[in-house]
Amino acid sequence: MRLQIALALQRAGFALELDETLELAGITAVMGASGSGKSTLLRALAGLETPQRARIALDGVLLADSAEGVNLSAHRRGIGYVFQDARLFSHRRVLGNLRFAQQRARPANGTPAPALDEVIAALDLVPLLDRRTQGLSGGERQRVAIARALLANPRLLLLDEPLSALDLKRKAELLPYIRALPQRFRIPLIYVSHAVEEVAQLADEVLILAAGRVVARGEVHAVLESAAAEAVSGHFEAGALLDATVHRQITDYALTELDLAGQRLTLPHIDAAAGTPVRLRVRARDVALALARVDGVSIRNQLRARVLRIDAEPAGAYAEVLLELPGAPAQHLRARITRESVARLGLATGQAVWALIKSVSFDRRVLGSR
């Protein structure tokens, strides 16, 4: 699905300007700090904001064109929207909320609307159907909001920081549901967040906004390694993504062993069968370097790597080392170490090293089968 966006929207002290063509498939994330224009962009796409200048087309269907005087209302755009606060009808039970959306679904235009039972099953809503919305947890409310948006039969689904009000446990519970939506319902998603751990697990493509402008765009692995992503997450959370598969479960110690281009990586147990693809994020601050494999230490994960680049802070204590894994040239690690360590180890571009990563350093919130 192709989304063409050319717009300019100005407010006091803020301007959003974009001219992008996005090939939407799977989940496209929009990242940025607060005030960067993420939510404003979604509202303009959905028809909830009217830019001073705009041309928006979805798969050749013109949604807005200020030069031609076209500006379809929100209910005619075929775009679903899930807000941060769910916005459920408090006077209806959960099933009533779902039936309301189903009854007002947009014309199919050759695409059958998802069946009510299928949506309920996909989001595990059976236990909630007869409950009042005021008694739902934050995660339950968002599952109902997503289901309601799907039942309206949109061509595109927008999610505006749907996890921002949830605690870490509820976020981890909701991520797999969101991750499964594009394939199960054949619908692309645009997912807005400032949380790099969410984007790392969900996104296929990423677009980063800063001060109303696009500053980075592309495939998730490449963009999350960029300086633009670090500006959002900060040095402390800088890192890289790795794609691996489950090799085996070490049940006696509640560990899972992954295969990473022929090397083994061990982490706290994840519930996934052998062969399951897994994406994980490794922070640069959790990677140490050695010139040879180290015996007699508790660090189980020791990966062969090669130095691609060394970026040292001229006046600071640290340097960042970009590493390539053998057999997987597109798979990178980043190690944040002191400049003194770089000098003491004699590190140089092209050098073979060992990357050491503690099993307990993996943030289990950002792990998941894909």
Residue 42's domain is classified under what CATH number? Answer: 3.40.50.300
Q: Which amino acid is at 16?
A: L
**Shortest CA distance to 327 belongs to which of 260, 235, 250, 257?**
260
Q: Mark whether 163 and 37 lie in a shared domain.
A: yes
Range of the domain at 34: 2-233
Per-residue pLDDT of the chain (370 residues; tens, 9 = 90+): 999 999 999 998 899 999 999 999 999 999 998 899 999 999 999 999 999 999 999 999 999 999 999 999 998 999 999 998 889 999 999 999 999 998 888 765 567 789 999 999 999 999 999 999 999 999 999 999 999 999 999 999 999 999 988 888 888 889 999 999 999 999 999 999 988 889 988 999 999 999 999 999 999 988 988 878 887 877 667 888 888 999 999 999 999 999 998 999 999 998 889 999 898 889 899 999 999 999 999 998 999 999 999 999 888 899 999 999 988 777 899 999 999 999 999 999 999 999 999 887 765 433 444 4
Q: Mark whether 90 and 160 lie in a shared domain.
A: yes
Q: Mark whether 260 and 226 lie in a shared domain.
A: no
Whether the Cβ atoms of residue 241 and residue 214 lie closer than 8 Å to each other: no
Give me the pLDDT at residue 240, please: 87
Instruction: Give the separation between CA 169 and CA 220, rounded to whole angstroms.
Output: 24
Domain termination residue (choose one: 233, 267, 289): 233
Structure tokens at 363: 């943030």
Instruction: Give the separation between CA 198 and CA 204, rounded to whole angstroms.
Output: 12
Give me the pLDDT at residue 368, please: 45
Q: Mark whether 335 and 187 lie in a shared domain.
A: no
What CATH number should be reported for the domain holding residue 266?
2.40.50.100
Q: Mark whether 17 and 145 lie in a shared domain.
A: yes
| The model scores a pTM over 0.85 | yes
Domain termination residue (choose one: 233, 254, 285): 233
Q: Mark whether 167 and 55 lie in a shared domain.
A: yes
Q: Mark whether 150 and 262 lie in a shared domain.
A: no
Domain termination residue (choose one: 207, 233, 259): 233
Give me the pLDDT at residue 271, please: 87
Instruction: Give the separation between CA 71 and CA 77, rounded to whole angstroms.
Output: 9
Q: Mark whether 189 and 49 lie in a shared domain.
A: yes
Q: Mark whether 152 and 268 lie in a shared domain.
A: no
Instruction: Give the separation between CA 343 and CA 340, rounded to whole angstroms.
Output: 5
Give me the pLDDT at residue 362, please: 67
Instruction: Give the separation between CA 258 and CA 369, rounded to whole angstroms.
Output: 12
For tokens 């007869």, the residue is 130
Q: Mark whether 177 and 283 lie in a shared domain.
A: no
Packed helices 138-151 and 168-185: angle between N→C axes, nearest 10 degrees: 20
Q: Cα 348 from chain centroid?
A: 33
Q: Mark whether 163 and 184 lie in a shared domain.
A: yes
Instruction: Give the separation between CA 208 and CA 217, rounded to whole angstroms.
Output: 6
Q: How many domains does the chain have?
A: 2
Q: Mark whether 44 and 170 lie in a shared domain.
A: yes
